[in-house]
Structure 1
Amino acid sequence: MPKEVVDKAVEKAKIGFKKWKSYTPYQRSEILKKAAELLRKNKEKIAKLLVLEVNKTYQEALAEVERAIQTILLSSEETKRLFGEEVIFEAAPKVKNKKGYYTRVPVGIIGAITPFNFPINLTMHKVAPGLGAGNAIIVKPSENTSLAPLEVVKLFHEAGVPSETLQVVTGLGGVTGKALVENKDVKMITFTGSVQTGEIIIKTGGLKKYTMELGSNAALYIDEDQEDRLREIAKKAKIGAFALAGQVCISIQRIFVHEKLYEKFLDEFLSEVKNINLGDPRKLETDMGPVINKEAADRILDWINQDISKGAKLLLGGRRAKYEEVGLKKDEVKLENLVKEIDKEFYIYHPCFVVPTVLTNVKDDSNLMTKELFGPGVFVNKVKDINEAIEKINLSPYGLQAGIYTNNLKHAFKFAQEVECGGIMINEIPTFRVDLMPYGGVKNSGIGREGPRYAMEEMTEIKLICFDLN
C-alpha cells in the first residue's frame, strides 16, 4: 500500500483511539475474550491458511492457532490488572501532606510490524496486549503471509473492536512499513524481524517508543553428568533445531557438548535427525516442510557452504531435497510459481526444501556461530568444560535464550549468571517458550519484552498524579 493509504489509516486510527479509550477495562477484556472464542471456532480454517502461506505442517499450524488463542485470553485477563501504584512523596525530606499515585495510560496509535514465521501468534502478541491497554493498532504483516492476519483481524471486528481501532495495511516493508514508521502520529512501533531492519526502523522513526524482537542463534550446552539423558536430550534438540524448518527465533543453532559425552551425543542426535520425515506440510505424517521461499533456501545453503570452506565438517544435509525425497513428482509442481528463472537443477531438486543439516568443528568466526541462519541447520561442537561453553555461547552478537542440561547446581547458577541472554532454560532446550512469560533479549536480540503482562507495560506510559493537602 502506498504512503497515502497508510496515512489515511493513521487518520482513522485517531478516531479509533478516541472510541476505544471510552471502553472500560472490563469491556475491553470481554471483547478480547470473545475474539478468542471466535478464533477457536475458526481454528481449522486459519490453520489451513497458515499451511498454505508459511509451509508449516498442519500440526504446527494448529499449535500456533491454539497459542494465539491463549495469548488473547492472557491479554484479556491482564487488561483487568493494569495497575498503577501509590507514590510516597513524604519519603523525601521536608515533604508533608502530599499524596499521590501513578497510573498507566495508553501510548496511542501503535504500528505492529510482524514476521512470516508465526503470522498469527506473534501478531496477537502485539495486537491483544495493545488493545487491552487501550491503544489503537495498525498491523503491517509480512508480505509473504498477509492472508491469515487479515482473517483474524476480521474476527476482532466481529467481536466488537471498532474497525478504526484495529486495521491492517499490507505491502512491502520498504514502502508500507516505512510509511507507518515515519508517521509522527504513530507513537510506538513493535517489530519482530532482523537486526538490519530494526536499525532502519529506529533511524526512520526517530523519537517514539519501540519494542523489538530481533532474533537469535540459540545455544544449548550439555554438561558432563548427562550421560543417562542423552537420548532424551537428542530428541528434544531435534525438535528445537528443526521445527518449522528452523525458522523460529529461538531455534537451536549451536550445541556445545562436554568432550566426555560428545561422541555419544552426536550418535544419538544424528540418529534422531535422520528420522525427520520431509514432505508436503498438508499431510499429517510430515515432520518438516520447505522453507519460506527459494531465496531463503539459497542463502541458507550459501552460509553453510561458506562455513564448510572455513573448515566445518558436514555430517548431514547441506543440500536441497530431491522431489522423490519429499514425496512429490516433478509434474505435480509448477516450477514457474516457485522460481523466477528456471534452473535445470530444479527439475531434480525442490527449490525450497533444504535437507536437515548438521555440522561439527564450526569455527568461531563462522556464519552459524555469529549469525541467525533461520533455516534447518545446527552444529555440534565439543568443549572441555562449562567455562569454555559459556565463552563460546557469548561469542554471539545475539542474546535471546540459551539452555543447559546439568545436575550440578553450581554449574546451573554459573550458566544463568554468566550467559548473556534474556532467558536461560535449565534442563530444557532454549526453544522453550510459553506465552505468559517475559520474552525478549539482550545485545542484538532486541529491545523490551513481550508476553501480555510485559507488553502492556511497554505499550503504556506512566502518568503521575500528586495532591497537595496542606
Structure 2
Amino acid sequence: MAVTNPFSGEALGEVACADASHVERAVASGLTGAAAMADLSTGERARILRCAASALESEAGRFSAAITAETGKPIRSATREVARAVNTLRLSAEEATRLAGETIAFDSFPGGEARSGHYLHEPLGVIAAITPFNDPLNLICHKIGPAFAAGNAVVLKPAEQAPLVAIMLARLMLAAGLPDGALNLLTGHGRDFGDALTSHRDVAMVSFTGGANVGQAICRSAGIKRVAMELGGNGPVIVMDDADIDKAAKACAAGAFGAAGQNCIGVQRIYVHDTVHDAFRDAIVAATNALRVGDPMDPATDIGPMICPQQAERIVHWTEEAVAQGATLLAGGERAGTLVRPTLLADVPEDARVACHEAFGPVVSLFRFTDLDEAIGAANRADYAIHAAIFTESLRHARHAARRLRVAGVMINDSTDYRLDAMPFGGAGRGNMGREGVRFAMREMSQTKVVCFHDA
C-alpha cells in the first residue's frame, strides 16, 4: 500500500497489507508477549518506558519531519506532538509503579471479623489498539504507554494514511527492551482485517480512536470484551459579554483551525453574546485571515493541508451547502488541492451539516445568544461531545456553565482543544465509551483481583 505526502503528493514509501491470517499470527504473538509483560516487575515496565521516552526525545527532529511528511501537520505542530508523546511515555513510566490496590475491611460486616485481605490490579492480556491519522504518534503512545505500564501486550493497527510513524515508533519501543510479542503491528486496510482483529476471542480489549460509524461496526464485531472508544466531537464555545474579546477570538481561531481543523476537540461552534457579537466577529475574522496556509515544512506555516483531496472537497461542499441554506461566509471557503482556507460562517442554520455533525476540517460557525442558559442549551444539542469552553470574567457564569454543559471537559477562558496528557479524556453522551489519559487508561486496561484470608 502506497503512503503519500498529502501536500506534495510525493510517494513516501509502501507498507504491507495485512489480512486475517496475519491477525492470527499477531494475536498468538501477543499472547506470548502478554505473559512476559505480566511477569515483569512494575519497575522493569517503567524502565522500558523511560528508555523509550528518552530515545524518542533524542530523535525528535526525525519524528517531527516524518509526522509532517505523512499527515501534512505543520512542522511546529508536529514538533509539539513529539514533545507530548515523550511526556505521555514518561507519565506511563511513572504510573506503572503506582497502579496499586488497597486493603479491604472485611470485618465491616458481621461474619467477616476473621477475614482480612486486599485487592490488586492485573493486566487484561492482549489489547487491540486502533489509531487515527491526526496525531499519529501521541495517540499511539496514549494506547501503548498505559497498556504496557499495566502489563499488557498490544496489537496495533495505525491509520491507513499514516503508518510510517507507527513503524518508526514500534522499532524504537522494541529497542527499548520490550519482551518478544509485547508489541505487534499490522498495517494495511482496515476493511481487510479489522473484523478479524476486533472479534478475535483472544483479544481482551479494543481501544479505538476514530469515527462513530467505524466505532459502531467495532462494537458489533467485538462481542463480549472491553471496548474503549473516542468517537469525535463538535466543540462548542460560549463567549460572554464580559469576556476578553481579543483573547477569545485568537484562542478560538487557533482552536478551530489548528491541524487544518482535523481535531476531535477543535472549536466548531461559537455562541457569542449579542452585545459583543459584532466586535468578536471582527476580531476572529482578522485572526482567521492572518493565518498562513501553505507548505507544512515551512516553520512560518500555521495551516497545512487536509489529509486527502476528498476530505478537502467535502469541507468546501459542506460550506457551500450551508451558504445555500442561508449562512453568510465571513472568511475562507476556498481550496487549492488539499489546502483549504480557514473558513468562518455566520447565520448558519442549526440543521446544516457543518453545524450539527463533526466537521473535522477548518470551518467554524458563529451564533448569537442573549441568555447564558440559551447558549448552554444550544451547545448541548449535539448528542456527542468531548470538550466545551466558555470565555468569561464571571466566576458565577463559569461555574454555572461547568455544571450544565453536557461534556467530558469544560475549558474556562481557553479553547476546547486544550488537553493535558495526564488528565482524563473521552466523550460524553453518545461518545461516552471509557477514558484515556495515562492513569485513567491504565484502569480501563486492567482488572481487579480480590485476595481474602480467613484467619479462623
Indicate which of 246, 261, 274 corresponds to 2:261: 246
User: Which position in structure 1 is the counterpart of 2:12?
Assistant: none
Q: CA deviation at 1:319?
A: 2.1
For residues 46 and 72 of structure 2, the distance between their equivalents in structure 1, rounded to whole angstroms, comes to 33
Q: Which residue of 2 aligns with 1:196?
A: 213
Describe the superposition over 1:192-248 as per-residue Cα deviations: whole angstroms up to 9, x where unpaired.
00111111101011110011011101011011112xx21111111111011010001
TM-score (norm 2): 0.95
Indicate which of 106, 127, 130 corresponds to 1:110.
127
Quote the offset at 1:98 in angstroms.
Answer: 1.2
Listed as ranges, the matches of 1:276-291 within 5 Å are: 276-291=291-306
- Counterpart of 2:89 in structure 1 is 72
- Counterpart-to-counterpart distance in 2, 1:146 and 1:114: 10
Provide the rounded CA distance (Å) in 1 between the counterparts of 2:447 and 2:25. Answer: 25
> Is residue 105–residue 461 contact of structure 1 (8 Å, CA) maintained in 2?
yes
2:53 alignment counterpart: 36
Query: Hey, what's the Cα distance between the residues in 2 that align with 1:300 and 1:368?
Result: 8
Distance 1:445 1:255 in 2: 21
Over the residues paired in the alignment, what is the CA RMSD in angstroms? 1.0
Counterpart in the other structure of 2:101:
84
Structure 1: give runs of 5+ residues left out of the alignment. Answer: 321-349
Give the Å deviation of 1:310: 1.9
Name the residue aligned to 2:400.
414
Equivalent-residue separation in structure 2 for 1:309 and 1:92 (angstroms): 68
1:459 matched to which residue of 2?
445
1:23 to 11, 30, 40: 40
Matched to 1:141, the amino acid is P
Q: Structure 1 residue 377: deviation in Å?
A: 0.2
- Residues in 2 aligned to 1:209 and 1:306: alpha-carbon distance in whole angstroms: 40
Q: Indicate conservation of the 8 Å contact 2:32/2:180, yes or no.
A: no
**Residues 221 and 404 in structure 1, CA contact (< 8 A), matched pair in contact too:** yes
Deviation by residue 1:294-315 (Cα, 9 ceiling, x = unmatched): 1111221222222222221111
2:386 is aligned with what amino acid?
A: L
Q: Is 2:261 the partner of 1:275? A: no
Aligned pairs for 1:270-419 within 5 A: 270-320=285-335, 350-419=336-405
**Is 1:255 the equivalent of 2:270?**
yes
* Paired letter, 1:393: A
Tell whether the 8 Å contact from 2:198 to 2:221 is kept in structure 1 after alignment: yes
Q: Tell me, what secondary structure is at the counterpart of 2:319?
A: helix
Paired position in structure 2 for 1:326: none
Alpha-carbon contact 1:404-1:426 (below 8 Å) kept: yes
* Equivalenced residues, count: 439
Whether 1:426 aligns to 2:412 is yes
- In structure 2, give the amino acid aligned to 1:305: E
Q: Could you list the per-position Cα deviations for residues 107-157 of structure 1 after superposition, in whole angstroms to 9, with x for gaps in the alignment?
A: 100000000000100000000110000000011000100000110110111
Aligned-residue sequence identity (percent) comes to 37
Range moving further from structure 2, 133-142 or 296-305: 296-305
Aligned counterparts, 1:123-134, within 5 A: 123-134=140-151
Tell me which residue corresponds to 2:240.
Answer: 223
Letter in 1 for 2:231: L
Which residue matches 1:12? 29
After TM superposition, the structure 1 stretch with the greater mean CA deviation from structure 2, 81-90 or 273-282, is: 81-90
Contact 1:113/1:177 (8 A) holds in 2: no
SS in 2 for 1:447: coil
How far apart are residue 15 of structure 1 and its match?
0.9
Give the drift of 1:95. Answer: 2.9
Partners of 1:88 and 1:157 lie apart in 2 by 42
Task: Kindly indicate whether the alpha-carbon contact (under 8 Å) linking 2:248 and 2:413 is maintained by their aligned counterparts in 1.
Answer: no
1:92 Cα deviation from its structure 2 partner = 2.1
Q: Which amino acid aligns with 1:116?
A: F
Q: Deviations over 1:171-199 (max 9, x none)?
A: 11222322210111001000000111111
Aligned residue type for 1:41: S
Q: Which amino acid aligns with 2:341?
A: V
Q: Distance in 1 between matches of 2:398 and 2:415?
A: 14
CA distance in 2, matches of 1:78, 1:19: 19
Q: How far, CA to CA, are the matches of 1:6 and 1:95 in structure 2?
A: 47
Q: Distance in 1 between matches of 2:290 and 2:385?
A: 30
Distance 1:286 1:213 in 2: 29
CA distance in 2, matches of 1:289, 1:244: 7
Name the amino acid aligned to 1:295.
Q
Q: Does the CA contact (< 8 Å) of 2:136 and 2:162 recur in 1?
A: yes
Separation in 2 of the partners of 1:272 and 1:426?
20
- Give secondary structure in 1 for the equivalent of 2:337: strand
Correspondent of 1:122 among 128, 135, 139: 139
Cα displacement (A) at 1:368: 2.6
**Contact (CA 8 Å) 1:215, 1:446: kept in 2 or not?**
no
CA distance, structure 2, for counterparts of residue 427 and residue 94 of structure 1: 54
Q: TM-score, normalised to structure 1's length?
A: 0.92
AA in 2 matched with 1:462: T
Report the Cα distance in structure 2 between the residues aligned to 1:178 and 1:115, rounded to whole angstroms: 17
**Alpha-carbon offset, residue 434 of structure 1:** 0.8
| Aligned-residue offset at 1:94 | 3.8
- Partner Cα separation in structure 2 for residue 279 and residue 409 of structure 1: 40
